[in-house]
Amino acid sequence: MALLPLNDHIVVKAVTEQKTVGGIILPETADKEKPERGEVIAVGPGKLLDNGTRATPSVKAGDIVVFKKYSPDEIKVGKDEYLVIREDDVLAIVK
């Protein structure tokens, strides 16, 4: 089963492991108020603008993004868990 997001929605697979600069792996419970990170799995066609055209999405599948903690909707497909967020809730792309 494939997930095909609509409009400006993005399907993300959460990345829960965090490392410090020194290489120390932080537990999942460390500072839960920080934005989340994830890998973009699928991107919708873009936000529908008032003039009837679509805005080109800023992210693409494979990008690692940082997004607001409480913005995603959690969904489960089979054994896999995904997050669905709006492009406006993406704070940055990690390079």
pLDDT of residue 17: 60
Strand 64-67: give its sheet, edge to edge. Answer: 73-77, 80-86, 9-15, 36-43, 64-67, 90-94
**Residue-wise DSSP of 37-65:** EEEEEEE-S-PBPTTS-BPPPS--TT-EE
- The pLDDT assigned to 24 comes to 67
* Beta-strand pair 9-15/80-86: antiparallel
State how far the Cα of 39 lies from the Cα of 35, in Å rounded to an integer. 14
| Domains of the chain, each with CATH number or no CATH | 9-94 (2.30.33.40)
pLDDT at 63: 96
> Which pLDDT value is given to residue 15?
82
Task: Note whether 75 and 82 are within 8 A (CB).
Answer: yes
pLDDT at 57: 94
Its pTM stands at: 0.78
- Judge whether 88 and 12 are in contact, CB under 8 Å: no
Q: What is the pLDDT of residue 51?
A: 95
As averages over each run of 10 residues, the pLDDT of the chain (95 residues) reads: 87 75 61 74 94 94 92 88 93 92
